[in-house]
Amino acid sequence: MCFFKKAMRTAIMNINWIEFFATAVRLATPLVFAALAAAINSKAGMFNMGIEGMMLCSALGAVIFAQMGGVWVGLLGAVLVGLLSGMIISFASLTGKTDLYLTCIAFNLAATGGTVFIMYLLTGEKSTTSGAMRAYEIPQVSIPFLKDIPFIGRVLFQQSLLTYLAAFAVFAVWFLLKKTRIGLRLRSVGENPKAAESVGISVTKIGYIAFAISGILCGFAGAFMSMSWVTFFMKNMVNGRGYIGLSAMNMASANPVGAALASLFFGFSDAAATTLKTQSKFPTEFLEMIPYVATILSIVVINLIRIVKLRRVEKGSAVTAK
């Protein structure tokens, strides 16, 4: 116990809080993309577990394409690879009529091994490209004037370009779902595919579109992992972030804004793990657990709240209309 107390005290004392918040926002970036991708799929009636694998493929794609023409080609490559992986999953499950869950699990496993295999073919390395391939980084952008605001300026306005893009994507996905025809059709397919089909909307086509959009978002998430979080590809570097994004979406019932906020929360727990790792003497294995434990706990808590609310309403003890 004494050890823990001491470790905790030094940890808290040494934390640079501004850096901590900035890290949290930074680490939330891929989660926001992943959660938005999951939300698009979910609104179209599909639970996309393949986000993890899609991100991993994109992360490798980013590094490889960047070798050919720099950071922007890398970003484009990541998006293309994300799109392609979305198409692979949708082709299997929509055209090939395979079970979506099994397809996604298979895809994730294939991505784990496949990315290492391709990395080995290209570099002869099996764990990381850091020594063998040139590092590229998506530029950090400091927004003039805003960056000078104390605290907030550092936390929000001196971030990677992709972090701003993530914030914009939240709005874009919301706009797409609420204001466009594709969005209306997507929601209609998700709510009642038969009804959509009966008025001539192709459920398969909408499914492909949903996977295309989520593929692009996963591409950005992957690019962030290998060109912003770190500047190389590493075996299994997504490390469950796709699943965490999926949980964030689930907590917010596929609402884009809510999903982004939940992602931010997970970003904080990730930052806590990262910061404590360097600042304290806690065993790292224990600290690395934080984001995942936070995920499980928050899902349980959110669902408990839902259940309790429902119980109270059913029992009639809640104050409700009529």
Three-state DSSP class for 140? strand
* CB closer to other proteins, 82 vs 183: 183
By CB under 8 A, residue 144 contacts other proteins: no
Three-state DSSP class for 297? helix
By CB under 8 A, residue 95 contacts other proteins: no
The minimum distance between CB 255 and other proteins, in angstroms, equals 13
d(CA 243, CA 221): 13
By CB under 8 A, residue 195 contacts other proteins: yes
By CB under 8 A, residue 12 contacts other proteins: no
By CB under 8 A, residue 304 contacts other proteins: no
* CB closer to other proteins, 120 vs 175: 175
Q: Backbone dihedral region of 99: left (phi > 0), alpha (psi from -120 to 50 degrees) or beta?
A: beta
By CB under 8 A, residue 201 contacts other proteins: yes
* CB closer to other proteins, 137 vs 197: 197
By CB under 8 A, residue 76 contacts other proteins: no
Residue among 113, 93, 90 at smallest CA distance from 102: 93
Using the contact rule CB under 8 A, the part of the chain among 84-92, 132-140, 159-167, 313-321 near other proteins is 313-321
By CB under 8 A, residue 185 contacts other proteins: yes
Q: What does each C-alpha distance from 221 to 2, 111, 169, 199 come to in angstroms?
A: 41, 15, 11, 35
By CB under 8 A, residue 196 contacts other proteins: yes
Angle CA(28)–CA(29)–CA(31) in degrees, nearest 5? 65
Using the contact rule CB under 8 A, the part of the chain among 16-24, 187-195, 214-222, 286-294 near other proteins is 187-195
By CB under 8 A, residue 97 contacts other proteins: no
Three-state DSSP class for 159? strand
d(CA 166, CA 297): 25
Helical H segments across the chain, by residue range: 2-14, 17-43, 51-69, 71-90, 100-123, 152-157, 161-179, 181-191, 193-198, 203-224, 241-251, 256-279, 284-288, 290-315
Binds other proteins by CB under 8 A, chosen from 179, 296, 303, 304? 179
The minimum distance between CB 99 and other proteins, in angstroms, equals 18
* CB closer to other proteins, 10 vs 180: 180
| Tokens, residue 7 | 């470790």
By CB under 8 A, residue 184 contacts other proteins: yes
Q: CB atoms < 10 A from the CB of 87, how many? A: 15
Residues of the shown chain interacting with other proteins in the complex, contacts defined by CB under 8 A: 179-181, 183-185, 187-188, 191-192, 194-201, 310, 313-316, 318, 320-322
